[in-house]
A and B are shown apart, each in its own frame.
Chain A
């Protein structure tokens, strides 16, 4: 995927060239492109005047950065303690089988990204899976499968 030069410029021009803005600028890049393209990383680091190695150090440290393009739909399975006790792990496993993709990755057709998160703070809804913006509360593998089909067809 090529990086739109203009979109990147729009992000960079809001940051003075100082290293403290590295995380912020990368988060905007992530939000804009859904991942951190290598070209964008180079541009951000050059603009802020930090070594590119430091840019990658930041991008690989924080979970919210992705180095590969994300799918159209993002599935986040909560594995907080409450969800763990109520079968969150079973849900990830069943989604891995259903979508034929390992957690942390995106399906070949770029339709779904499957990730786990540590806790979305919605423990009363456990086990919970967040698909895009929507919280699937007290869910199970069967209902999830149905929901994903619905999302695909929309």
Chain B
């Protein structure tokens, strides 16, 4: 279902004025006992996969069975993603703020007994500092959280995303009320311009300027003007938008409604990728409840302003993250980009002026209106204002979602917040900006993360995916990986992208097999530049970036493949061999049972041998050996 049904349910309750919203908020707060214990169980995709719904269920049952005094029965709340996904499922106790990690249903009984009834922490569930082993009771003291500045993510992990009351209690839709009662559309655009907010989807275009252009084009000719939220987060290794849509969908909606008011639009679209079923469901519920309450749809908050959104599902095409392709997709066509001689602010959806912003950009808007452009401008660097959400993934200890002010260095992000590379291995590079970005090596890890520094270094901000690589990562393989990804996703409309990328991949394929020459390496470089300059859209234009960046910083790794037939990271299949070290092998037979080729033989409890002529290098033996006896070189 591309267009997800958000049909209105009948409900008598509607907020008919901004004052009614304020009164409603006060009544919600008055109803709530600030001292009532709340147990928060993270229900982000990561924690869900690790059993968090079962933990919540077990907690509910155990609390009911424990016979706790009715006055202090804790409320058990399911929230969006807290970001610290590698430690999930996360459970937090308020008002004390006790933070438990890796909680499983089996732990629940002890939690209820020790923590709820006796008031003591269950030590083994606390986060332990990896350096000192010391237990840390509160999330605010854990380095992963301590060095963050969570502004856009401020509500996530505190509110139940599908309970509108929770959103309103923390000040949701206050900025909308402010805009509708005390600001002209032009003043709203002025505030966003003054804040210096730049698009969070990758391009980094000034949001306020885009709004002004769309509004101006909209006034030129009669007809509808559209606002679009791009939630087609296709960069592999990025999940900022997913977390926002799942954890605080009303912030995205509120941003869009404010934008629509400023631009003069009454119709909007949210385009979400189908790979995010939970985000779709949450947004669907958020749209329905906002519409029921009078915060969306006809006559919003009784002010006469009307705006409604439709929810569209992507079809699994990376290129649809590109604005013109996304709009083609909403129109029911294949998502092929068009040349942007005429920008979408002039002719976008159905040939009408359209303002497309990324989900994270929209979520920044209520914050700017609430706290003011000056407050926002104070965060970040000269050219990049505010905070940015990054997904920190790959070979790093603390995998998760982080929000930091623009200008933080790569080193601080990886070492302080990320806790460094696991298992004592060495940080090698960080890939920033997804398949259109580039890698930055350790020599440059003092680089501040902002739009301009990153492009200068050959990477780009992109949507905010940060993939940490260590010495087990082969840079030739990484370049090949991104190229294969892009070849698969290229829409095939223009030649440089369709054929150029293919030829580049063939060259990389040769290098990873230890073939090719230095002249081929030169050809790869010049071909990259041709594809960059000649492609129709940004996907093709930025596709060679991962190759160019690895050539720039890791040329010696390419040369090791070409000249010495060696893959230094032991990744490229054609250049590696697996072997069993007889001194470490105790003959457990696990590898022999796992080997699909029958290449491993030996008797029980005696060192095994691997016949290299039969080996297909699938790595099954390496994966299964618990004694480190299988080596790869």
Q: Looking at the complex, which one of A23, A125, A135, A140 makes contact with B2 (CB distance below 8 Å)? A: A23
- Tell me the residues in window 23-43 of chain A with beta carbons closer than 8 Å to chain B beta carbons: 23-24, 27-28, 31
User: Contact check: which of B275, B473, B624 meets A85 at CB < 8 Å?
Assistant: B473
Q: Is the CB of B46 within 8 A of A125?
A: yes
Cα A87 to Cα B473 in complex, Å, equals 11
Stretch from A2-10, A61-69, A105-113 that touches the partner: A61-69
Within residues 279 to 329 of chain B, which ones have a CB less than 8 A from any CB in chain A? 312-318, 329
- The interface centre, meaning the residue of A19, A22, A123, A141 with most chain B CB atoms within 10 A of its CB, is A123
Q: Are B332 and A81 in contact (CB under 8 A)?
A: no
Pick from A24, A83, A84: contact of B3, CB below 8 A.
A24
**B contact residues, total (Cβ < 8 Å):** 63
Q: Does B514 contact A (CB under 8 A)?
A: no
Pair A121/B334 contact, Cβ less than 8 Å: no
Cβ contacts under 8 Å, A140 to chain B: 623-624
Q: How far is the CA of A27 from the CA of B274 in the complex (A)?
A: 10
Which B residues form the contact surface with A (CB < 8 A)?
1-3, 45-46, 48-50, 85-86, 88, 233-239, 242, 274-277, 312-318, 329-336, 391, 393-395, 399-400, 431, 434, 465, 467, 469, 472-473, 481-482, 485, 489, 491, 594, 596, 618-620, 623-624
B317 touches A63 (CB 8 A): yes
Contact A122 B594 (CB under 8 A): no
- Enumerate 6 A-B pairs (CB-CB under 8 Å) in ascending A order: A24-B1, A31-B1, A82-B467, A118-B316, A123-B394, A126-B393
Give Cα distance in the complex from A126 to B619, angstroms: 17
Q: How far is the CB of A48 from chain B (nearest CB, A)?
A: 8
A136 to B50, CA, bound (A): 9
Identify which of A58, A64, A121, A126 contacts B238 (C-beta below 8 A): A121
- Whether A64 pairs with B618 at a CB distance below 8 angstroms is no
Which A residues lie within 8 Å of B331 (CB)?
Answer: 19-20
List the A residue with the shortest CB-CB distance to B319. A61
Assess whether B333 is in contact with A121, with CB atoms less than 8 Å apart.
no
Q: B482 contacts which chain A residues (CB < 8 A)?
A: 81
Report the separation of the CA atoms of residues A19 and B315 in the bound assembly, to the nearest whole angstrom: 16
Q: What residues of chain A lie closer than 8 Å to B489, measured between beta carbons? A: 118
Measured between C-beta atoms, what is the minimum distance from A124 to chain B in Å? 3
> Known contacts being A28-B1, A121-B275, is A62 close to B48, with CB within 8 Å?
no
Contact of A135 among B45, B274, B314 (CB under 8 A): B45
Q: Does the CB pair A94–B1 fall under 8 Å? A: no
Alpha-carbon distance A137/B532, docked complex (angstroms) = 37
Contacting pair A120 B623 (CB below 8 A): no
CB distance from B141 to the nearest CB of A (A): 21
A77 to chain B, nearest CB (A): 13
Across the interface, do B49 and A125 meet the contact criterion of CB distance under 8 Å? yes
A122, B239: Cβ atoms under 8 Å?
A: yes
A117 contacts across to B, CB distance below 8 A: 275, 316
Chain A 84-99, CB-CB to B under 8 Å as 1, else 0, gives 1101001001100100
A-B interface contact total, Cβ < 8 Å: 160
- With A31-B1, A64-B274 already in contact, the answer to whether A58 and B317 are too (CB < 8 A) is no
Complex CA gap A139/B2 in Å reads: 31
Q: Is the CB of B46 within 8 A of A58?
A: no
Q: Please report the C-alpha to C-alpha distance between residue A21 and residue B1 in the assembled complex, in whole angstroms.
A: 10
CA distance A83 to B481 in the complex (A): 11
B603 to chain A, nearest CB (A): 22
A12 at the interface (CB under 8 A from B): no
A80 to B393, CA, bound (A): 11
Write the nearest CB–CB distance from B63 to chain A, whole angstroms: 27
Contacts of B620 in A (CB 8 A): 90, 94, 141
Given known pairs A24-B332, A57-B334, A142-B594, the reply for A125 and B85 (CB within 8 Å) is yes
Tell me, yes or no, whether A119 is within 8 Å of chain B by CB: yes
The docked-state distance in angstroms from the alpha carbon of A84 to that of B394 is: 9
Cβ–Cβ contact A137 & B49, under 8 A: yes
Asked whether any CB of chain B lies closer than 8 Å to the CB of A79, the reply is yes
Contact B481 A84 (CB under 8 A): yes
Q: How far is the CA of A62 from the CA of B314 in the complex (A)?
A: 9
**B residues less than 8 Å from A79 (CB atoms):** 236, 485
A62 touches B233 (CB 8 A): no
Contact with B along A123-134 (1 / 0, CB 8 A): 111101000011
Q: Which residues of chain B come closer than 8 Å to A142, judged between CB atoms?
A: 594, 623-624
CB distance from A93 to the nearest CB of B (A): 6
Q: Quick one: which of A24, A63, A121, A128 contacts B233, CB cutoff 8 A?
A: A121
Most chain A CB neighbours (cut-off 10 Å) among B49, B312, B472, B473: B49
Cβ–Cβ contact B469 & A85, under 8 A: yes
Q: For residues 44 through 66 of chain A, which have their beta carbon under 8 Å from a beta carbon of chain B?
A: 54, 57-58, 61-65
Smallest beta-carbon distance B513→chain A, Å: 16
Q: What's the Cα separation between A69 and B423 when bound, in Å?
A: 44
- B2, B335, B618, B619: the one contacting A24 at CB < 8 Å is B2
User: What separation, in Å, do the CA atoms of A118 and B232 have in the docked complex?
Assistant: 12
Output the least CB separation between A1 and chain B (Å). 21
Question: Is the Cβ of B393 less than 8 Å from the Cβ of A82?
Answer: yes
Complex Cα gap A44–B491 (Å): 24
Contacting residue for A119 out of B46, B49, B275, B332, CB 8 A: B275
When distances are taken between beta carbons in the complex, the residues of chain B under 8 Å from A58 are 332-334
CB proximity of B222 to chain A, nearest CB, Å: 21
- Chain B: minimal CB distance from A146 (Å): 12
Most buried by B among A23, A90, A117, A137: A23
